[in-house]
Structure 1
Amino acid sequence: MGGFLKQKLMSRKNKLLSKVWPTPFRFQKTPIKKSGSVPNILEPQEYRDLLLRTMAFPDNASRSIICDKIAFRGYVEEKLGDGYLPEALDVRDNFNDLALEKYPKPFVLKPNHASGRVHLIFTSADIAEIEEDTKHWMDLRHNKEVEWVYHDISPSYIVEEMLCDNNNLPLPDYKITCFFGKPVMIWKDTDRFGTHYQDIFTPQWEPIKAQLLYPGSPNKKPERPDSLERMLEIARILSEGFSFIRVDLYSDNQKVYVGELTSFTEAGNFVYTPREFDQHLYKLYLQHRADWISKQRKHYKNKAMQKLRKVDTPAY
């Protein structure tokens, strides 16, 4: 079945489900099939449960802003300044208005309003191969019936420079999960468009014995990048204001670039191996939430007490 037809059928299915199923249960079928258990979105026990809960019950409108890939660029520039994003070469509403043969290669083509779709263009031959699929992107609504963050995002095409190393290969990809502005876990993705290995580390670059979507590197584990501290600093800045978020970065070991901010990893359709690691992540989330609440409470109580001390005690 073609990708476009499959997407249309999925969209129709979700619209039908939206009429008969309460919102929290529309998107649980696939996670159940993959994990063999029903996600507990009312009383989360795992990190995956938390993602699905937030997909069902919106918590922060800013998530919708950062899902708009054009608005996201403005968000990053406001937070970090210039120089942290791949160069934007063009933005168009119509496929026929794209000058694909004229953009400097290699470049990346992706939709503004959907996730999980991207084409890497190295040569003119790549352009001919992707044209039919890409034309249909404007018809996509990326499961907006079940992912509220994609509501009302204007469809368009974005062309960006491809971030490559000296061998003209895409830069290494670092995905940093943050809870309440604090990095807690790093994925290092290697050879994403080939064999694809995924290694998981603590913020101190200590290996974590867990696996998510892809196997870990079979031989030597990836070395600690020279730019790690800067990446963690950027993750802290960009994740501020979100209870949880994933900050996706690229680095050539010197300079760091921001790829995107991801609210719902794989739309909650994942299972860690071992399963206990997902439970550990949720406990870690609860710990960071408690720390954040305590810190905020202390901050505002101190402000209130300072003001009270300025009030003269009445004489009796």
Structure 2
Amino acid sequence: MNFFKRKYYQVYIGLLKLVGASDVKISKAKYLYKNGKELNLDQPIEFMEKIQWLKFNYYNEHYGYLVDKYAVRKFVDETIGSQYLNGFIAIYDSVDEINLDTLPNQFALKGTHGSGYNIIVPDKSKLNWNKAKKQLQKFLEEDYSKTNGEAIYSAIQPRILAEEYLSQSADNYIVDYKFFCFHGMAKYVWVKTFHDGKYRNCYYDLNWKKIEDDSNTMNYLNLDMKRPENFDEMITIANKLAHDFIFVRVDLYSIKDKVFFGELTFFPWGGKQRLTVERFNKEFGELISLPS
């Protein structure tokens, strides 16, 4: 998409928001802007089309406890056990409740009501607390359900969750294992890590065969990752957590041969961006059977 066409769509989307257009109309405009093709919600075929359909017609606010960073801990505990949860420190209703002195030297602060609301602290002595408090306050004031029209987030109480710090290696970068699960069964895992100066990612099947990327995206991970020793356990955990859902992405970590739960994601990338492995757009779509 050339510069002028891109600017046109950015202005158009901004105007839609300004006049109070529906989430469906705004999502259709964003999808066209991101992918250069129309979003088909009447007869969805591709993966992201069906994800968008589920977003608007199925996963409503009653599923919010599954994406609430604090409330989901109970679901995980009851489904696979508390041993897979990262250590809990505290839950805060406001930034003013946080007493930095009582927190350990390393910790993580997460907004419970959305994605990307994270402040990771590997060394408290180097933390600019005034800046962090402003960032946390900004998190609390945002309605994440409006970002991509995701009603599943609309009833979540904005809070700040403090958890123990997870470290995998000397450089503190953790490998994410994100399992794409369809009707309760994991099919592929999206691996994300920091390599060669930036975050990169790739897909593996469940036999740990790497899927080649046919889009030549700069973020694709060319490094061959080692199969985790506990990969079979991770698959079992993903299947248990995904058991009752049409589609969900189960995000896990493997740290020192111990599996930790990350989060459940029902709408990867808000449903806006088609997958970089082109065949997955149709294949993943075929794996989803939408309800009547």
| The two structures share one fold, judged by TM-score above 0.5 | yes
Paired residue for 1:216, among 220, 224, 233?
220
Instruction: Tell me whether 1:131 sits opposite 2:139 in the alignment.
Output: no
TM-score of the superposition, structure 1-length normalised? Answer: 0.79
Q: Tell me what 1:240 maps to.
A: 243
Q: Distance in 1 between matches of 2:19 and 2:101?
A: 41
Q: Distance in 2 between matches of 1:11 and 1:91?
A: 35
3-state secondary structure, aligned to 1:165: coil
Paired residue for 1:283, among 279, 283, 286?
286
Instruction: Tell me whether 1:174 sits opposite 2:168 in the alignment.
Output: no
| CA deviation string 1:224-278 (max 9, x = no partner) | 1111000000000000110000000000251100010000101012122343321
The alpha carbon displacement at 1:62 in A equals 5.7
The alpha carbon displacement at 1:50 in A equals 0.8
Paired residue for 2:143, among 141, 145, 149?
141
The question of whether the paired residues in 2 share the 8 Å contact of 1:14 and 1:143 is answered with no
Q: Distance in 2 between matches of 1:100 and 1:179?
A: 42
The alpha carbon displacement at 1:82 in A equals 1.9
The alpha carbon displacement at 1:119 in A equals 1.1
The question of whether the paired residues in 1 share the 8 Å contact of 2:191 and 2:203 is answered with yes
Larger Rg: 1
Q: Tell me what 1:73 maps to.
A: 73
In the superposition, relative to structure 1, how do residues 113 and 24 fare at CA in structure 2: closer, same or farther (>3 Å)? Answer: same
Paired residue for 1:229, among 218, 229, 232?
232
Q: Indicate the structure with greater strand content.
A: 2
Residue pairs, 1:1-316, within 5 angstroms: 14=17, 16-17=19-20, 20-21=21-22, 23-59=23-59, 63-123=63-123, 124-128=125-129, 129-144=131-146, 146-167=149-170, 169-191=172-194, 195-210=198-213, 215-218=219-222, 220-252=223-255, 254-286=257-289
The alpha carbon displacement at 1:179 in A equals 0.4
- In structure 1, stretches of 5+ residues that fail to align are 1-9, 291-316
| CA deviation string 1:90-121 (max 9, x = no partner) | 11111011123431132111111121221111
The question of whether the paired residues in 2 share the 8 Å contact of 1:225 and 1:253 is answered with no
In the superposition, relative to structure 1, how do residues 62 and 239 fare at CA in structure 2: closer, same or farther (>3 Å)? Answer: farther
3-state secondary structure, aligned to 1:26: helix
Q: Taking every aligned residue pair, what percent have the same amino acid on both sides?
A: 25
The question of whether the paired residues in 2 share the 8 Å contact of 1:11 and 1:143 is answered with no
Q: Distance in 1 between matches of 2:31 and 2:54?
A: 15
Q: Which amino acid aligns with 2:40?
A: N
TM-score of the superposition, structure 2-length normalised? Answer: 0.85
Q: RMSD of the TM alignment (CA)?
A: 2.6
The question of whether the paired residues in 1 share the 8 Å contact of 2:61 and 2:153 is answered with no
In the superposition, relative to structure 1, how do residues 177 and 211 fare at CA in structure 2: closer, same or farther (>3 Å)? Answer: farther
Q: Which amino acid aligns with 1:224?
A: R
- In structure 2, stretches of 5+ residues that fail to align are 1-12
The alpha carbon displacement at 1:26 in A equals 3.0
Q: Tell me what 1:296 maps to.
A: none
Q: Which amino acid aligns with 1:106?
A: Q
Q: Tell me what 2:9 maps to.
A: none
In the superposition, relative to structure 1, how do residues 184 and 211 fare at CA in structure 2: closer, same or farther (>3 Å)? Answer: farther
In the superposition, relative to structure 1, how do residues 24 and 187 fare at CA in structure 2: closer, same or farther (>3 Å)? Answer: same
The alpha carbon displacement at 1:14 in A equals 4.3
User: Aligned pair count?
Assistant: 275
